[in-house]
Homo-oligomer: A and B are copies of this chain.
Amino acid sequence: MTESAQTASRQEQKGRTRQAILAAALELAQTQGFAQISLRQVARHAGIVPTAFYRHFDSMDELGLALVEQSFSTLRRMIREAQRDPKVFDNIIDAAADVLVEAVKQSKAHFAFVARERVGGSEAVRRAIQHELDLFVSELAVVLARLPNIETWSSDDVQMVSRLFVRNMVSNAEEVVEMPDHRPDLEERIKDGARRQMRLIVIGFRDWKS
């Protein structure tokens, strides 16, 4: 990449190339899975020479970790925005199902990456994703604990419900990822399934405690 845009402060350009690498890796990972793509493929797709890759990441593993970070920061932003919506208090379940499907649709590639590499990736990437998911369970527990009905539960119980929610989120995200594009019927089905499952968890939990 001798040139790339006329707007080019040095660090701007570096950031742009970095993003190009991330985007290239994410796209390639879609079809073959991140674990099986090569440094040279990524470089080629990003329009740089293999050795230039090292100016941005020490190894493919570090690229993977950067993608994990990017994926979860996207997710966190969406959750934070959704929390501002007052309907969350009325009906957390429907809101969560909507957010889930919307979020996954909007950044399918990131979710696909996380879903795949969570179990299929390298040791380092797998650990990073598991750590982020654990964090996410705790964060969601905090949100849930503030909800009517739930605010009286013990924090252990809230934690477990949160874990079940996240587990279900992962499962449903996998389904949305595998879903062919432009099939609103399937999408509605998955949303509906997610809603039912979450309701199930809440109801089952409530009744079983009594």
Contact = CB atoms under 8 A, between A and B. Distances in A.
The interface residues of chain A, by DSSP majority, are classed as helix
Interface stretch (A5-13, A99-107, A194-202): A194-202
A167 B196 CA distance: 14
Nearest to A161: B200
A13 B91 CA distance: 64
A200 B117 CA distance: 29
Interface string A64-89: 00000000000000000000000000
A196 B197 CA distance: 15
A36 B121 CA distance: 10
Interface string A110-143: 0000011111110000000000000000000000
A148 B33 CA distance: 44
Contacts of A118: 119
A150 to B, nearest CB: 15
Given A35-B120, A204-B205, 18 more contacts: A33-B35, A36-B36, A115-B119, A118-B119, A120-B120, A120-B121, A164-B197, A164-B200, A199-B204, A199-B208, A200-B208, A202-B204, A203-B203, A203-B204, A203-B207, A203-B208, A204-B204, A207-B207
Interface of A: 33, 35-36, 115-121, 160, 164, 167, 171, 174, 196-197, 199-205, 207-208
